[in-house]
Amino acid sequence: MTKKEEKAKDDYNTNKYINNIIADYKYKKSFHKNIYNKEKLKKLNKTLNDIEKTRQKLNDLIVSCDSLTDIKIIELSQELDILLNKYEYLKKEK
């Protein structure tokens, strides 16, 4: 093999090595991004479950209707608003 061929082979191996490092970095970066997205999904799902539970409590109270119910309805409505805002915030978060 000539010196020119050896240099070309070395350059090829060096480029291949660098490309592998870059590919590995990109893979790890996307992996961490997916982990973050899974955590975000967990938060969103938990918030959605909280919203559903609060909405159900509110509906149950509206059906029962007694003197204390009005206060409870207001409290649950406020809690529901807070949870909905939290959900919207989590959805927009990057």
Q: What is the mean pLDDT of residues 19-37?
A: 67
How many C-beta atoms surround the C-beta of residue 46 within 10 A?
Answer: 13
Q: Give every CB contact of residue 93 below 8 A, 6+ residues apart in sequence.
A: 40
Query: 8: domain range?
Result: 3-92
Kindly report, residue by residue over 68-88, the tens digit of the pLDDT.
666 777 777 788 888 888 887
Kindly report, residue by residue over 38-70, the tens digit of the pLDDT.
777 788 788 888 888 887 877 777 777 666 666
Report pLDDT for 25.
Answer: 66
Give the number of domains in the chain.
1
pTM here is 0.48
Judged by phi (left if over 0) then psi (alpha if -120 to 50, else beta), residue 56 lies in: alpha
Residue 56 identity: Q
Cα dihedral 69/73/76/77 (nearest 10): 180
